[in-house]
Amino acid sequence: MEFFTQAIETLKVLVMALGAGLGVWGIINLLEGYGNDNPGAKSQGMKQLMAGGGVVLIGMNLIPLLANLFNV
């Protein structure tokens, strides 16, 4: 059971890191859009930023629930 718990914790960290990376990429695109006055880049950057935040929330809240799913 210790292996399963460690695997869930590792999955949580990986999903949160992926979401943070997506959010940082979104910030970069957002700032690039403001710098070049490009509405398309601003829109894409905002979407990526929000998607990254959503992925981080999934990692924080839903992934730990997997540990409780298999506890008997």
71 pLDDT more than 70: no
Token pair in block for residue 47 = 């979407």
CB within 8 Å of 26: residues ≥ 6 apart: 44, 45, 46, 47, 48, 49, 50, 51, 52
For residue 46, what pLDDT band results from cuts at 50, 70 and 90? very high
Q: How far apart are CA 22 and CA 49, in angstroms?
A: 7
List pLDDT tens digits, range 4-42: 889 889 999 999 999 999 999 999 999 999 999 989 999
The domain segmentation of the chain, as residue ranges, is 23-61
8 A C-beta contact, residue 53 and residue 19: yes
pLDDT, position 2 = 83
